[in-house]
Structure 1
Amino acid sequence: MFALLQAAGAADTAATPAADATVAAAAETTNAVVESVNAVAAAAPAAPSAAEAAAAAAEAAKNAGQQNITLMDMIAASPLVSKIVLVILLLCAVYAIALMIEKILVMRSNKKRTVEFVAAYKKAKTPEEAAQLLAKQPEGFAKKMFAAGYGELQKAKDAGLYNKREARGDLIERIRAAMTAEQNKGIEELGSNMTFLASIGSNAPFIGLFGTVWGIMNSFIAIANTQTTSLAVVAPGIAEALFATAAGLVAAIPAVLIYNFSAKQTGTIGGYLEDFEADFISLVTRDMDKQG
C-alpha cells in the first residue's frame, strides 16, 4: 500500500512541470493577441469630431469654388488656333454691327430726301420751274440726277436743238443716259460694303464651326492623355467649342439682317429714282410739244 502511494506521488510530481509549461504558453499567446489589438487600435485614426467634420466640409466647398471656370478663363486657356478664330469672329461681329447702324441711318436719310425731292418736283410745270423749285433742296441722288438731265437739256437749248423735232429723240436719249449714270452711282454708293456683309453672313458660321471642331478634337486628345472620361476633363474643351459656334452666329446674324435690310432699301430707293427719271423725261417731252 505504501508502495502504491509513493508511485502516485511520483506521477503527480512528474506531471506538474508539464502543466506549468502549458499554462505559460497560453499566457504568452494571450499577451501577444492583446498587444496586436492595442497596436491596431493605436494605428487606426480617431473618429473626427463634429467640429472637424464641419471644417472639412467648409474647406471642400472653398476648394470647389476656387475651381469655377469663367468665360475669360476659358478663353485665356484656349489654344492659339481657337484664339485666332475668336479674334476673327469678334472683328467680323463688330464690323457687321457698325455697318448695321450706318446702313440704317444712311438708308433712312436717303429715302427721306428722295421722297421729299420728288414731292417738290411734282409741283413744277416746266423744266425751268423745276430747276427753281429744286435749287433749295438738300443734296441727294435725285438732285444729282436732275442736275445731269437738266444740264443736257440746257446744252441742247444753247445749241439750238431743243425745238428741232429731228433732234428730239437724240436729246431724250442723252438726258436718259446722263440721269441713269447718276442713278447707278447712287445705287453703287448705297450698296457699298454689301459684298463684305454677304461674306460675313455666309462664312462666319463655318469659321465658328472650325473652332468647334478644333475644341472637340482637343477634348478627345485630353481624354487620350489622361486615360479618363471624366466630365471635368472634357468639359473645358467642349465649352470652348460651343463658344466658337456661338461667336460665329453672333457675327453672321447681324450681317445677314443688315444685308437683307440694305438690299430692300436699295431696291426701294432705286425704284423712286427710276420713277423720277421717267417723270422728268415726260416733263421735257411735254414742254417740247408745247413749244412746237
Structure 2
Amino acid sequence: METEVVEAGSTVVENLSIWGLFFQADIVVKIVMIGLLLASVWVWAIIFEKLFRFRRVNADADAFEQEFWSGGSLEDLYDRIAGNPGHPMAALFASAMREWRRSAERGLVRLANAGSLKERIEQVMAVTRDRELARLEKQMSVLATIGSTAPFIGLFGTVWGIMNAFTSIAASQNTSLAVVAPGIAEALFATALGLLAAIPAVVAYNKLNGDLDSYAGRLEGFSGEFSAILSRQLDEESVAA
C-alpha cells in the first residue's frame, strides 16, 4: 500500500511539472503555449536589440557633437561622412550640408533667396529626422501588440483548458482534486505564459518609447542649432556678395 501511495504521488508530481502540463494539454492549448513562448523570445530579442541600438546612437551622437563643436571645418566634416553618415545625427548634418552645397553650386546662396533656402534646409532636415526616427522605432509596434494581446491569448488557452477539464470531469464522474488539478493547472499555465510575454513587452515599450522621445528631442535641438548656423552663414555670404 505504501508503494502504491508513493507511485501515485510521483505520478501527480510528474503530471503537474512544466513538461507534463505541456504534453498533456489539448492541441489548441499547446498551440497557444508555443505561440506565447515564441512571442516571449521575440520580445526579448527586440529588447536587447533596441537597448544596444539606442546606446550606440547616443554614443555616436556624443562623439559627433564633440567633433562638430570642436571648431573644425564643417566642409571637411561633411566630406568625411557624406558617403556613410552611420547614425541619425550625422545623417541630419549631411542632408543639410548637401542641400547647402547644391544651392551654392547653382548660385542660389543670395540674399534674395535666403528665405527659400532656409526653408528647404529645414524641410530636408525634418524629412531626414523623421526617416531616421522611423528606423529607430521599427518593431516597437511588435512590443505594443504583444503586450496588449498576449494576456488575452493566454486567457483563451486557459478558458479552453478549463472547458476540457470540466468535460473530463463530466465524462469520468469523478470530482476528486487528483482528477481536476492537472486540467486546471495546464489551463492556468497558458495564462502564466501570456503574462510572461506581455509584462516585459509593456515595460520595455514604455522605457524604449521614452528613450526614443529623448533622442528625438536631441535631434530636434541639433537641427535647430545647425539651422541657425547655416542661416547666419547665409546672411554673411549674402551681405559680402
Partner of 2:48: 101
Match of 1:171 among 98, 112, 117: 117
- One-letter amino acid matched to 2:74: A
Q: Which amino acid aligns with 1:119?
A: Q
Please list the CA deviations of residues 200-225 of structure 1 after superposition, one character each: whole Å capped at 9, or x if unmatched. Answer: 00000000000111111122112211
Could you tell me whether the CA contact under 8 Å between 1:219 and 1:234 is conserved in 2? yes
For residues 185-209 of structure 1, give each alpha carbon's deviation from its aligned partner in whole angstroms, at most 9, with x where no partner exists.
1100000011221110000000000
Correspondence 1:146 to 2:146: no
Query: Gaps (5+ residues) in structure 1?
Result: 1-55
Deviations 1:78-105 (A, max 9, x none): 1111011111111111100110110100
Map 1:65-214; keep pairs closer than 5 Å.
Answer: 65-68=10-13, 69=15, 70-124=17-71, 129-133=73-77, 139-162=86-109, 164-214=110-160
Match of 1:50 in 2: none
Deviation at 1:144, TM superposition (A): 1.1
In 1, the alpha carbon distance for the partners of 2:143 and 2:9 equals 45
| Structure 1 residue 63, shift from structure 2 partner | 4.4
Asked if the contact 2:12–2:178 (Cα under 8 Å) also holds between the matched residues in 1, the reply is no
Are 1:257 and 2:203 matched, yes or no? yes
Matched, 1:238 2:210: no
- Aligned equivalents of 2:171, 2:95: Cα separation in 1: 73
- In the alignment, structure 2 segments of 5+ residues that lack a partner are none
How far 1:134 sits from its partner (Å)?
Answer: 5.7
- Once the two structures are TM-superposed, the CA of residue 59 in structure 1 deviates from its matched residue by 4.7
Q: Is the 8 A contact 2:111 2:235 kept in 1?
A: no
In 2, distance between residues paired with 1:266 and 1:254? Answer: 18
**Paired positions, count:** 233
- Describe the superposition over 1:45-82 as per-residue Cα deviations: whole angstroms up to 9, x where unpaired: xxxxxxxxxxx424532443244322212211111110
Match of 2:169 among 223, 231, 234: 223
Identity of counterpart residues, as a percentage? 38
**2:6 aligned residue (38, 61, 67):** 61
Q: Identify which of structures 1 and 2 has the higher relative contact order when contacts are C-alpha pairs closer than 8 Å and 6+ apart.
A: 2
- Could you tell me the TM-score, scaled by structure 2's length? 0.90
CA distance in 2, matches of 1:107, 1:113: 10
CA-atom RMSD, angstroms? 1.8
Aligned pair in 2 of structure 1 residues 195, 114: CA closer, same or farther (>3 Å)? same
Deviation string 1:217-257 (CA, Å, 9 cap, x unpaired) is: 12211221122220011101110111001000011112112
After TM superposition, the score normalised by the length of structure 1 is: 0.75
**Which letter maps to 2:76?**
Q
Instruction: State the distance in 2 between where 1:113 and 1:254 align.
Output: 27
Matches of 2:45 and 2:194 in 1, distance apart? 17
